[in-house]
Chain A
Amino acid sequence: MSAIFLDLSAVTYSAGQKHILHGIDLTLEAGRVYGLVGPNGSGKSSLMKIIARQVAPSGGRVELEGKPVSEWAGRAFARQVAYMPQFTPDADGMTVRELVALGRFPWHGTLGRFTRTDADMVERAIARSELDAFANRPVATMSGGEKQRAWIAMMLAQDAKCLLLDEPTSALDLSHQASVLSLVHTLSQERGLTVVIVLHDINLASRYCDEIIAMNSGRIVAKGAPAEIMNTGMLRRIFGVEIGVFSHPHTRQPVGYLM
């Protein structure tokens, strides 16, 4: 068992009168890919935002490497955790290389020099995301899948230990979904990154994640390896519909289908 990277205990979150998260306890280990699944409104995105420190929880404790996240300084936290929101903003007038270079901000800060190392990290991130051909293209002219890759490259340049991706594949077609997720999966193995991905498709989650965290109505209802989650009883508890499971003819992985 590897080291505990992130630890949440009794985390609650409410917006006005509405309670969105009811006491989340969750431990994430370093170097694993977690898939966060659950029906709409189950609190997946809120949980992600709390982990990413985008919003403060209403109650409970969130610790990163044993230290409460609220005590981390802004840039120090960004060197640990990189977050990609569900809707990435328009990078108005920027080229891919300029966008990726923004990922170095947590390292060089407001007035620091943009060093050789910074430049190298940018080039490596571009190469790793197979964006060399696009490096000087304006981000605005790229397709959805390419844009998504550019943002992932920016997260790579950020060189954080943890990537948080909120529905990175929702706007992509099947082949781009697969290419983005397999890139993330390989990166996690190469660099020992901790990754949390919010996904809608339970099959994609089981295919590319080491572990699945299932949520429903603001609670975690199951957490375990894909093989433990992918059975009719468990899926009924999570999604409230009957989902059958069969073995993938080639990989032998479990595949769910709506009954």
Chain B
Amino acid sequence: MSYPARYAILAVALLLACGLQIHNATSFLSFSAWPAWPFDPGAMNTDQVILAYAVLPRAVVAILAGAALGLTGFLFQQVLRNPIADASTLGISAGAQLAIVVATLFMPSLIDGSREMVTLLGAAAATAIVFCLGWKRNFEPVTMIISGLLVGITAGAVSAALTLAQGEYLMSLVTWNGGALSQQDWSTAGRLAIEFALALGVSALLVRPLHLLNLGDTAASSLGVSVVSIRLAVSAIGVFVAAGVSAKLGMIGFVGLAAPHLARAVGIRHQLPALVASALAGALLLWICDGVVQFVAQTSAEQFPTGAVTALIGGPLLLWLLPKIRHAQRPASAPPYEIRRAPRKGFLLLAVLVGASIVVSLFVGRTEEIWRWLSLAEFDQLLPMRWPRLLAACAAGGLLALSGAMLQRLTSNAMASPEVLGVSGGAGIGFAAALTLAASPTQWQLLAGAGFGAAVATLLVLAYAQRRHLEPDRLLLAGVAASSLSSAILGALLAVGDQRAWQILNWLGGSAATVTASSAISLAALGVVTIAIALAFVRWLTLLPLGYTTNVALGMPQRTARIGIIACAALATGSASLLVGPLSFVGLMGPHLARQAGFVRTREHLFASFALGAMLMLLADFGSRNLAFPYELPLGLFAALVGAPYLVWQIGWRK
């Protein structure tokens, strides 16, 4: 892009931002009535005080926070060589949020004085986990983003569970999570300015080694760059700035993701100018977004937090960025290790295990402090209430794990899971739409909304999968984008903070308690049908992990296979997530455990995944009913909380 065009774009953006700002400010208080500089609160009327200590600092905060986020986005994208890295996609903001929730609940005194410290700890912990997960795979972009999503989902699940448990106290916190920019004085602006200036200075010093990282770790270190320390230093700056913004304003997603790409889109290629331009682009972006939010708030009654609005840009932006991700260079193939194959007896053992968990679920009960076997009379009484729930949990777990197994084979990526497919994300968006559109939605309207959303998301993913030379990784990332968009929308609605928020929190947790006999039976029937379909696809599922080239060479119908399998997995996931909510890691854990146990051949892998998924969900159900007895924990959240540590251990630390 030529220089004049570049400046023209900058001028237009500046004009737009200033125009919005001036319109919003003057419609609040006409310009002639503005207080004189320097401000003297003693000599002002109320409106003048609001202008000087709320409206104007808000604009400055938007600019500074936007610049800071743009800077972090640039740093993370550079240091990880990953065009979609950002505090929100790496799960850093979610970690900060969780830290605030935990501190508010258990150490409220901490929050008062050192809110910044708390968020910094949370953000650093989340970053450390994501980086550890990525370390083994050479910070390969897709793995990093999926790890970030998983850490983000988990942190979000814990936050949601805590909020559900202690609701009354935390609702204000949920509002903070939405990223509200409103100000009461200039102190936030001042602190942001200091932090931003500090970070900008230090990162400007690190620009040169950062540039060399583009060559890859090996080449960079052979040129004398200390790769590890540069990566640590730059990431530390990024976390520091992101946590600072988080502590003051809450979650403002995707500004950091967009800014460096805006800078690059106008043709800035060199490092230092790109760094400055990213900050500038972030500043303008957030300023404009906040201007629009205030403009809408003036003309209509709804006041959305600015962070929720920027998050809406995130999903489409991610989709647009996907083609820019370099084809993931798979790390040199792992040292060969012999997979212990399960003997035929393995299935017998599996059947025994599943049977045992069914028996335990049916017959063990808890009263007060005592665990005991139910007497036959009690069992008779409880059975009509228990069996639909057990059957439904089994079927849902099995369906999720089976879809996970199919998707992992389809994408030849062991991190693929139904959560990442975006179908449950679509269901979440549909649910949110039903909540917003209907005045007082019935259970059926909500269900229809969720079903419709899941169908639309599936169709979108299918349309994307139609493309001939689609790398399977891209499919995963498209799902990640849908999931992010969904959580952003749900977060925005949560942040509004009325009774809809409770319904959303309940939906996130899954509604196992509302299962009826008929819905349980239909879910089980779907389970049987899905197994049958998966078995019919067994040869495709064997060939798919070998990749596009081999599949074409053997004459396999690529497109048909892909569409058939995705449609099947989406149907299974959609129905299961109506029961357990949009997040549980059963779809990821089932197939993993099955492989670990030596069920490697396709047919065995599918069967074992289903069985293990059913078993996991049964155990999660048992735990969610009994652990906090007499209270019941949300099934989906419980499964996610148990599953997440296992996955972190699996991905990161297993030899």
Contacts and interface: CB of A to CB of B under 8 A. Distances in A.
Interface of A: 52-54, 73-79, 82-85, 88-94, 98, 102-103, 105-106, 109-111, 138, 140-142, 158
B600 interface: yes
Interface stretch (B72-80, B332-340, B356-364, B450-458): B332-340
Given A74-B557, A92-B412, 15 more contacts: A52-B552, A53-B552, A73-B555, A74-B552, A75-B556, A78-B554, A78-B555, A85-B550, A89-B412, A89-B546, A89-B550, A92-B545, A93-B339, A110-B536, A141-B338
Interface in B544-563: 545-547, 549-550, 552-557
A146 to B, nearest CB: 11
B269 interface: no
Contacts of A109: 539
B540 interface: yes
A92 B595 CA distance: 11
Contacts of A92: 412, 545
A79 B333 CA distance: 30
A90 B546 CA distance: 7
Interface centre among A52, A85, A93 (most CB of B within 10 A): A93
Interface string B197-236: 0000000000000000000000000000000000000000
A33 to B, nearest CB: 19
B247 to A, nearest CB: 44
A25 to B, nearest CB: 25
A140 B412 CA distance: 16
B555 A105 contact: yes
Contacts of B554: 78, 102-103, 105-106, 158
A138 B539 CA distance: 19
B643 to A, nearest CB: 23
A105 B339 contact: no
Given A77-B555, A78-B555, A79-B555, A138 B549 contact: no
B468 to A, nearest CB: 9
Contacts of A138: 336, 338-339
Interface string B38-68: 0000000000000000000000000000000
A102 B339 contact: no
Interface string B584-603: 00000000000100001100
B513 interface: no
Given A85-B549, A141-B336, A98 B601 contact: yes
B434 to A, nearest CB: 39
Interface centre among B412, B545, B553, B595 (most CB of A within 10 A): B553
A92 B333 CA distance: 10
B543 interface: yes
A113 to B, nearest CB: 11
B27 interface: no
Given A111-B536, A141-B338, A93 B595 contact: yes
A54 B555 CA distance: 10
A133 to B, nearest CB: 16
Contacts of B442: none
Interface centre among A85, A92, A109 (most CB of B within 10 A): A92
A102 B546 contact: yes
12 contacts: A54-B552, A74-B556, A78-B553, A79-B555, A83-B549, A85-B550, A94-B600, A110-B537, A110-B539, A140-B337, A141-B338, A158-B554
